Chain A
Amino acid sequence: MATVLPHEGVESAPVAPVETPWRRFAADFLESPLAVAGLVVLLLIVGIALVAPFISPQNPYDLNQLDIMDGNLPPGAKSAPGYIYWLGSDDQGRDMLSGIFYGLRISLGVGVSSAVLALAIGLTVGLFAAYAGGKVEGFLMRVVDIQLSFPAILVALILLAVLGEGTWKVIAALVTVQWAYYARTVRGTALVERRKEYIEAALCLGLSHRRVMFRHLLPNCLPPLIVVATVQVAHAIALEATLSFLGIGLPITSPSLGLLIANGFEYLLSGKYWISFFPGVALLVTIVSINLVGDQLRDVLNPRLQK
């Protein structure tokens, strides 16, 4: 907008809403219908996961509600108690729809909690490295580089081979796999930001290092971090499913989507596709919606692509 002469400005300035960064961000985000669809689906999935026990036709892990006679029914079949298995049932007579609702809870729970933990660790390390500089930074980033040069699945495999199985061990493995991504991202942006003058100014004002680090440096490192975090949640969910499928992930007592799919593997070859198929679709839809949102976030938050 042109800066107008004061007396003239009052009458001629158009009454447009003030463009706050948040408004601009929201408007940019909403530009892509695909991303909006992703966001809606994602919110729906999170909602389902949160209220799974209240909306599932049956509690798939209450053995009293299962009837082995209802095992391996195709989608749409009627169960003995009279309700319909919309997505079929597995070998135990478990309603796949309910299984998926509960599975989403576990998959999302493991994915999000590992991402949050990894973010906390990676952010602290990355910020500290960028701030400390010198040998400390060199060492920390060397560790990050080495860790990142190994594929996630290999690191997870090593850890689980050493640690053994269990929900917390899987989360520990996922955190180990992810933290370095955050550390690298934070350190990269923090380095750029650090050189800017406002940090210099904050230091000249005599603010404590801690305050400068977390109140001044951190907020400016957030945009790329948000993008990485979104993508990492999707990665964590996919990796957990993969590990569970391979039989080295979550225990049978925490039936995530990966375990449901593994469960149906043996029936697949005899044409009973639904046991593996539908949990896979749920997993896919979850990951796709997160990635769609993440993709748009990346475009919106990337200063290089802003025109």
Chain B
Amino acid sequence: MIETSSLASGALLANEGGGGLHSTAASGAFSALWLVVGLPLLGAVLLLVGGKRTNPFGHILATALALGSFVVGVLMFVTMLDKSGPGRSVDQHLWTWAPVNEFQADIGLHLDQLSMVFVLLITGVGSLIHIYSIGYMAHDENRRRFFAYLNLFVAAMLLLVLANNYLLLYVGWEGVGLASYLLIGFWQHKPSAATAAKKAFIMNRVGDFGLAVAIFLMFTTFGTFSFEDVLGGSATASDGTMTAIGLMLLLAACGKSAQFPLQAWLGDAMEGPTPVSALIHAATMVTAGVYLITRSAEIFDASPDAQLAVTIVGAITVLFGAIVGCAKDDIKKALAASTMSQIGYMILAAGLGPIGYAFAIMHLVTHGFFKAGLFLGAGSVMHGMNDEVDMRRYGGLRKYMPITFVTFGLGYLAIIGFPLLSGFFSKDKIIEAAFAKGGTSGWILGAVTLLAAGLTAYYMTRVMLMTFFGKERWKEAPAGAPADWHEPHPHESPVSMTGPMILLAFGSVFAGGLFALNDSFVKWLTPVTGFSHGDLPMSEWAVTGMAIAMVALGTAVAYLQYARREVPSVAPAASPVTVAARRDLYQDAINEGLVMRPGQYLTRLLVWFDNKGVDGFVGGLAAFVGGTSARVRRVQTGFVRTYALSMFGGTLLVVACTLMARMA
């Protein structure tokens, strides 16, 4: 374990560990940094501008550029390993963007240990998803456009994690929102997809509002919004300001990371093609909120109130997602709810301060592997099942798609925290960190994370059992099936799809252990995020034991319900709690009642008011002052005369006044 400093305050600790970003200008191999963002961006531009001409090779080009970005990322990583201490933090100034006096907006990149982790995750998992999509989207007439958007998504996310100031981060942040809009709504001919895309974008914009206000506050406080200056100055500014900035950043994180109360877009986002879901949930987008909070460590360390708010949001979401996940029959929506819950873990951990930052990121990376694997696995299942998503219409599929079964199974074991797999190490650490926060809140957060661990085991076991085990329910025609219904012929997916799944399964199994070995991951990040052990009120073994017990309990309950008993192929009537969970705890009804309907009424009222009220009043005034007795609305002729009269009157006025001026 790392020797921790004896300083108690998180803020000071963070300064001890990282102390803002004091970086050197990028040189040597680091000067290729811009290529990490540039390559996928180039791909997006080429494919969109090139149009149909790039159809034959577009997907290959996009995949190659994503891989190229990964290669450059690895090169950066190797170079970074070679350096030590401050040499690992580099800045690359590209060009001056929008300078107005104090407001110096620059296009500049920053690479350090934290962004390095993200670069490898985004480009690595992103590339695998590109490869997988070649097969998955093979028969889509708009495959080229799909790959252009994928490249755009990766580029925007890379810009987000590599920006050296909050304004450029905002560009990547909104870019991610745009790319997700384009991809969720990729099948635009489906009204549900178009609606889901719009919903995601608008809810994200609510979060973006928070980020914008946070940047305004930084500018009025520090006169700058570069990471280096803002984070360096955080400890000196007033608590109130830091709390305000922290809360605004949290609002932003809620939007992008689908945290309560801005979580409602995530489930609907499943309207996009499945690789998109994998990309959104594993490598890009939803992880952005965790990055934002971790990157802004010094801000949150300076404001315990903002940190508390972060942990509360995380705690609510971790349970919210888990409860919803227990009731979903749509395999993608069950996984989506699971993502919400897992990101809740990360946000909660990030809210713990230096105790949790490193573990939040560690869980983010392991989750990136297993959630990408799970989604690609789900896509593979759908691929072989005529795009069926209802798990009640699955069953016993392990015989028909063995590779999918094994890789999905390993991802499953990883996410529930099966001992020695990836999720075990990362999630266990978050539970420990929650208890280590100390005090009542530490106990509450610890209990919440433990409970969620049990729920995770339950809903994931349920998914696993309903999909791969039990009776082959897909063989019977569903009630009310169309006349041309035919039995699906489940089959294994092509190697371009299974290959990435196998690689991700390796990550799901080994990444956690590797990171935990020697605490190498925590040591890697400490210079940026700082680290503290906190104050664990019991032994680490006790926490691990309780976590394993919860997992076993959740698994056992699911086993009793979904393996010992036959799964009905139509969802049975259920208790009000289950019904509520099936309907996402009524999130849409609440949003509709509180925001949408009142908004619609307000809009209609204003449209009426604008036509009658404002127009009528100003029109009447104009008619009155303009000296015409007719109502403006009715005036259709006589305008030239009016005009001539006005000009004449005006000229007279000029002459009269000039004469008066002369006499005066």
Q: Do A and B come from one complex?
A: no
B residues neighboring A (CB under 8 Å):
none
A residues neighboring B (CB under 8 Å):
none
